[in-house]
Amino acid sequence: MSQVNSTSSLSSIMNLIDLGPTGSVQMMFAKLQLAQSEICKSQATDYMKQIEDIQNEQKECAEMIERARELQNTAKADNKNTEMPADMVKYFDDHNLSYDTDGKDNKHSADQWDYNLKSLTNYQEQIGNKTQTLMVYLQDFIGQYNSYLQGANTQISNANQTLTSLARGQ
């Protein structure tokens, strides 16, 4: 079978499925069920990719939080401001996260790091919520896939049983 993606139409997928030379209603229904299962499989694959991307973002955010805490601890211990590294500033800017801009520089006191850390932890929570939502969708598509596949297998089995009965003259 050719590549199926989430934008493939049901009719184009059905044209790719070959269940043999039969035109019975059971086999047509099985073909429809198989096509629906392929659509669900493709959508589930798309969600798995999104979840993987978000998990990578979660890891990057956790690393930023760890680094920000280290900078905050240094600021506390030395009782002076510590500078936010350029890559961290870029991370905040790229993700539209707010950070303390008092003093019009990237040097922050321990209290200012509190503000920066809150911004990061709120973002981390948003990412986590997004992952949970996508996991629910993924589970739904996997359930639909299994249901359609089971329906197709049942219809194929029923059609074969009917053909066997006809061949035996029953």
User: What would the two tokens of residue 20 be?
Assistant: 């043999």
Residue 44 lies in a domain: yes
Lowest mean pLDDT among 30-34, 52-56, 113-117: 30-34
Residue 1 forms part of a structural domain: no
pTM above 0.75, yes or no: no
- Is position 2 within any domain? no
What's the CA gap between 113 and 20, in Å, rounded? 67
Q: Is residue 111 part of a domain?
A: yes
Q: Rounded distance, CA 113 to CA 123, Å?
A: 15
The backbone torsions φ and ψ at residue 107, rounded to the nearest 5 degrees and listed phi first, read -95, 135
d(CA 94, CA 21): 57
Q: Look at residue 4 and tell me if it is in a domain.
A: no
Give the domain range for residue 16. Answer: 10-168
Lowest mean pLDDT among 5-9, 138-142, 154-158: 5-9
Strand partners, 107: 83
Residue 61: CB atoms within 10 Å? 21
Q: Does the residue 34 lie in any domain? A: yes
Q: Is the pLDDT of residue 106 over 80?
A: yes
C-alpha distances (whole Å) from 128 to each of 45, 99, 107, 140 are 19, 21, 29, 19
pLDDT at 158 over 90: no
Query: What are residue 83's DSSP bridge partners?
Result: 107
Q: Does 144 fall in a domain?
A: yes
Rounded Cα–Cα distance for residues 109 and 62 (Å) = 21
- In the chain, the number of structural domains is 1
Q: How confident is the model at residue 5 (pLDDT cuts 50, 70, 90)?
A: low
